[in-house]
Amino acid sequence: MQWVSLNTRQLRAASYDAARQQLLIRTAGGSIRTHKGILPHMFENLVASDDQNFYYRIYLESSLISDRRGAGSIVRHVLKIGVMSAGALFLSAPGLVL
């Protein structure tokens, strides 16, 4: 599948597999969004649209089945979990002291 550049801030590129009716969207954040059941004319309309972000939100976003996040997003989630765990441990520690 070939990637086609998109001209929006949020959406960087799109790739379409007609045999599977599968659309992949690469976002500015680095994640890859997978959409199933996309007909060929929908992909063509996205690429040809004057407002690709609007077309995506209205006609394609509801078919999202997977959002594989980039490495930066995963690191942020791990850090959040770590901070929350440390906070919970800190709050429960005074109750453990005899």
Report yes or no on 43 lying in a domain.
Answer: yes
Residue pLDDT, tens place only, 41-80: 999 999 999 999 999 999 999 888 877 655 555 556 667 7
Report yes or no on 24 lying in a domain.
Answer: yes
Phi, psi of 10 (to 5 degrees): -85, -35
Separation of alpha carbons 94 and 98, rounded Å: 9
* The model's pTM: 0.67
Separation of alpha carbons 24 and 66, rounded Å: 10
Report yes or no on 23 lying in a domain.
Answer: yes
Domain that holds residue 53: 3-70
Q: Which residues of 8-41 are buried (b: 16+ CB within 10 A; e: fewer)?
A: eeebbebebeeeebbbbbbbeeeeebebeebeee
Report yes or no on 77 lying in a domain.
Answer: no
Residue pLDDT, tens place only, 7-48: 999 999 999 999 999 999 999 988 999 999 999 999 999 999
Report yes or no on 98 lying in a domain.
Answer: no
